Amino acid sequence: ALMKIPVGETRSYAAIADALGAPKATRAVASACARNRVAIVVPCHRAIRSDGTPGGSRWRLPLKTEYLQRERAA
């Protein structure tokens, strides 16, 4: 589901859970993103909180924000 999010766009953890057919799995999606060891290949940085904020990141919040800014500029 993360790899289907277009470059430069984001989806909330809840929207990703819905796309997976498991609307109650929002926390599981966030947890899986937090454990992602291949962040560039599987773009967990495109997953954000429902309020539009980036939320935490295994790779640190500033780096997540930078990836999103670069993608939006491209």
Catalytic residues: 44
Q: Where are the alpha helices (DSSP H) in the chain?
A: 13-19, 26-34, 61-73
DSSP E strand stretches across the chain: 11-12, 47-48
Between CA 71 and CA 39 the distance in angstroms is 14
Q: Which two tokens stand for residue 54?
A: 């980036």
